[in-house]
Amino acid sequence: MKQRKDGKKVYNWHRPLGPDALKRGYIRERDQLTGIDENLASLEDYESDFSYDPWTYTPGWDCCEACFNEDRGFANSSEVETRRLELLLQEVLLPSFWKLHLEDIRQTIDGEEREEAASGVDRKNSLSLEDRLYRHVALIRSYATDSETLRHELLTSIGDQRGLKTIETLGRQVGSPNLAKLICLFAPFWLREPNAWDAEGGHVGLLRHLFVQYDTPWFLYPAWMNMEDCHPDQLKWLVWFILMGQGGSLKQAAKRFGWKLTRSYTEHLNQVPADTDCIGAVLFAEVKRLGGSQRVYERLSGNAVFVWDPTNPEDVRLSESGFEAFWRETVLWLSQFELEFTDEQCDDVLAWAVHEYTEARREGGKRFTWKGRSPTRALERANRYHQELARPWQNKTWPKRGWDWQGGPNGEWEMIELATGEELYEEGRKMRHCVSGYVSYCMSGSAAIFSLRVNGERALTVQIEPARKVIAQARGICNRAATKEEKAVLEEWREERVRSDPASR
């Protein structure tokens, strides 16, 4: 199968294993496990029915061992790092692994205890919780080049496999394949043994038993369930969970991890509304820090343009010059005039403001500002903007340029030209932006509008300047910026269909 990684075509001719092949592979591995020295089968409290289960298999591009060998070019370094880490954690959950390594683990633990007793230094408590977490995440990040250090850290922290079945079984019950792996990944921070858990409270009860000493905000618990893989860049919220559950300081940890945290931030996190996810929680805390109310937060979170992670200095929204200032000005303005609008009117005003902000950036003019804008005037401008979008352009048509295109390893990407007012209106309605106002430009020939779709779903709306064959702008839903992969697809389409078209030269 052919696949695309980071905008580049890579070729992988290893066919994925089908259901029957997976079953045969399971049988082979089971037979190999039963051939291990039978003398090791008598582990204390070992439960023989805790066996390998293909439930832990995660299908993907890595269909065989060779496919994630970085030297062959089938995966980038980040994917290799994540896959190898997941294999380690999956290995830790196998009873056969503990049969082979239990004696070595016990000897290592006994040796470290004797060394600490002789030196009089408790190595675990000699570092602050913030430093220990930073060091642990650094070990996870360096696993691809230094696997033994992390392996040693996890095995000595887990001690033996008696409590692992509890963790693995619960992960199966709640439908989260990665829960058991993530809990094992942070074994050095267990406060209590898994086998001492009273089996109450589901995954929340287990997490509280293992990691929590102090009250922890509820929005952090689902992070253990919703993590798609064990990639180091996605572990931030688990680190926050442990910090807040064990009395650490987010502010002190921020200096090490590079998070953007301000004073009084933690106290606002404890006021986050129920059923809020992690991004919503930090957004709520930032709104409250700036003096906004829960109603202001709810109005902002209804527009995807205003939803971002203000604690992450690498958030994609910050790649847009001026976005952070625009966002903060919007919070302050809405807080000042909170009672002047209904929720519906506020939605209209925010949509108009995003349009003004985006157009100012695209045209390189003076940036949009809320300074000096009264609620009445802003609402008038917003109504005029939405009336313009609703003008009866639906019956207008113009000729296509023949630049429609289909690409990607499996033909999943499509570029479709929009050549009627109705199509522009529908595109703008689905993508929540103002492309329906570009009918006059398309009819005059100064612009051509295309819809980039992946697997039939709208991804980007693209404006081309036909005379120069350049992309004037490409925006996703609510005017989000194009991703790296989408930019690569756009460039491939432009080279294959637009620039190579002799009729338009």
Give, as one character, the DSSP assignment of residue 175.
T
Mean pLDDT of the chain: 76
Contacts of 266 (CB under 8 A, 6+ apart): 244, 250, 251
Is the predicted pLDDT of residue 1 greater than 60, yes or no?
no
Of the candidates 268, 323, 275, 311, the one whose C-alpha atom is nearest the C-alpha of residue 293 is: 268
pLDDT at 69: 41
Task: Name the band, by pLDDT with cuts 50, 70 and 90, for residue 54.
Answer: very low
Band (72; pLDDT cuts 50, 70, 90): very low
User: Which of 127, 184, 128, 197 minimizes the C-alpha distance to 158?
Assistant: 184
pTM beyond 0.85:
no
**Residue 267, pLDDT score:** 83
At residue 504, the pLDDT reads 52
CA distance 491 to 487: 6
Backbone angles phi, psi at 372, to 5 degrees: 80, 5
Cβ neighbour number for residue 38 with a 10 Å cutoff: 9
Q: How far apart are the first and last CA of the chain?
A: 36
And the tokens for 29?
A: 């591995």
Residue 81's pLDDT is what?
57
Q: Is 451 helix (H, G, I), strand (E, B) or coil?
A: strand
Read off the tokens for 87: 């294999």
pLDDT band (50, 70, 90) for residue 462? very high
Compute the distance between CA of residue 382 and CA of residue 370 in angstroms, rounded to an integer. 13
- DSSP result, 287-340: HHHTT--HHHHHHHHTSGGG---TT-TT-GGGGSTTHHHHHHHHHHHHHHTGGG
Give the C-alpha separation, 43 to 31, whole Å.
20
Check pLDDT > 70 for residue 230: no
Average pLDDT over residues 446-471: 91
Q: Residue 169: CB partners within 8 Å, gap ≥ 6?
A: none
pLDDT band at 439 (very low <50, low <70, confident <90, very high): confident
Which segment, 40-49, 193-202, 301-310, is predicted with the most confidence on average? Answer: 301-310
